[in-house]
Every structure is written in structure tokens, then in C-alpha cells.
Chains A and B, each alone.
Chain A
């Protein structure tokens, strides 16, 4: 079960609206390598994990990704908030605006709505963990690209935090892969 805590894991305090940046950042909200994809992936895969450490890790990282999902949503919200109609049009964000106003909607930067096709839950722990390793790298790379596109330090700080978290998660998935492999090896020689 999930309990919600009324605070962000890392603060998001964006003082200047930027609809163009909002359209890009939203890709980590509802895009292929974003935080929603990550949480659903890990929280769905955890059911098939064979050892307690893996069930715990997938649950915990999946939960942390929900906290990141919240951070990115807050970024999109603050980047759109207070932006005028003209600023939105000039930023090329009018198409987002007509469907969502200044609201937050899970889609990619290209405007594709979120889909479970972005994730897999193969039920095979080895396959699933390799997918998770790839997912963390893709997310880290996406943050690299977003950081290149951003100028505002208020935007860069949370993006840098989120990027570093992917690096840590990657290491944890690698470690749990070792443990799962060791367990599966030991079962073979029964």
C-alpha cells in the first residue's frame, strides 16, 4: 500500500515560467523513458522476483520513481504557471495548451500520450532486470539532453538531482542482478 508524504523529495522552486521548457520536461513525466514508465515497470515486475532482496528493491525504487514523477509534474506545472497566451504561442506550446491549458498531462515531448507499450514486465527476472538497467541509462541520457536544453538554474538543479538518482539506481539493479543470478544458479544444482 502507498502512503503519501506532503513534500517533494527534492525542492522544485521555479520562479520564471517557460512553456517551451515545459513541453520538453514533460517527457520525463509521460514519455518513454520517464518516471511514470519507470514506476509502473518496477512495481509490475516485482511480483515475479524470486528473492526477497529483489522484491524489496523493485518496490523501493518503484516508490522513489513515483516521488520523481511528482517532481517532474511540479516542474511542468510551475513552468506553465503564469505564462501568457502570447508566451505559450511563441514557445510552440499552443498545441499542448489547447488540450490541457496549463495543466499537467502524461505525454512525451513529441506529444505522444503515455502508454504501457513503453514498459515490459516479462516475468523473467533476468530479462526484467536487464530492461531495468537499460531504463535507468535511458532516463539518465534524457536528463543529460534536458540539461543541455535548460538555462534556468531553478530548472537545472532538480534535473541534476534526478539524473544522479538514475546513476544510483543503475548500480542497485546491477547488484540485484548478481544476487538473482546467484540464486538461480544455486537452484539448478538441486
Chain B
């Protein structure tokens, strides 16, 4: 159940306005107020060991190189 959320995982770009009829929520169908939701990582690809150690993660999906262009968040 947790691993297969039945919702659209596509990201929503900032600064775009949507009409309510075309809005696709990234949250699960029965989500509630006053709680946080996280997307589960799905492991597909990996860096090889030496590169993983050098980068600080084996997962390209989680790799966040420094310096970051965007000051906010990751």
C-alpha cells in the first residue's frame, strides 16, 4: 500500500497557475490535513562504489551536488 501510491507523481513546476479542474494532486487519494507526506524512493540505478563514496550517495536520484544554484531547500 505504501509503496504503490495511486497518484500522479509528476512534479509541479513553480509559478504556474492552474485552473482547479485540471489540477492533479501529487498526494495520495485519502490524504488528510495536518500531516506530512513523503514519496518513497524506488531504487533503480546506482553509481559504482568508488563514485558513490566520492559523491556521498549511491543513488543518482538523491545526488544533490554542491554548490547549489537554488538557495532554498536541497
Q: Do chains A and B touch in the complex (CB under 8 A)?
A: yes
Binding site for B on A (CB under 8 A): 10, 130, 133, 137, 140, 143-144, 147, 160-165, 167-168, 170-171, 174-175, 177-179, 181-182
- Tally the A-B contacts, defined by beta carbons under 8 Å: 56
Q: Is the CB of B38 within 8 A of A175?
A: yes
B53 to chain A, nearest CB (A): 7
* Chain B contact residue count (CB 8 A cutoff): 23
Please name all residues of chain B whose beta carbon is closer than 8 Å to the beta carbon of A164 when the two chains form the complex. Answer: 55-57, 62-64, 66
Q: Is the CB of A171 within 8 A of B68?
A: no
17 sample A-B contacts, Cβ–Cβ < 8 Å, listed by A number: A130-B36, A163-B66, A164-B55, A164-B64, A165-B56, A165-B57, A167-B57, A167-B62, A167-B74, A168-B62, A170-B74, A171-B38, A175-B41, A178-B2, A178-B38, A179-B2, A182-B2
A1, B57: Cα distance in complex, Å? 26
Please name all residues of chain A whose beta carbon is closer than 8 Å to the beta carbon of B59 when the two chains form the complex. Answer: 168
A144, B74: Cα distance in complex, Å? 10
Q: Is the CB of B41 within 8 A of A171?
A: yes
A174, B62: Cα distance in complex, Å? 13
Q: Is the CB of A177 within 8 A of B66?
A: no
Q: Is the CB of B41 within 8 A of A167?
A: no
Chain B 47-73 interface 0/1 with A at a Cβ cutoff of 8 Å (1 = within): 000000111110100111011100001
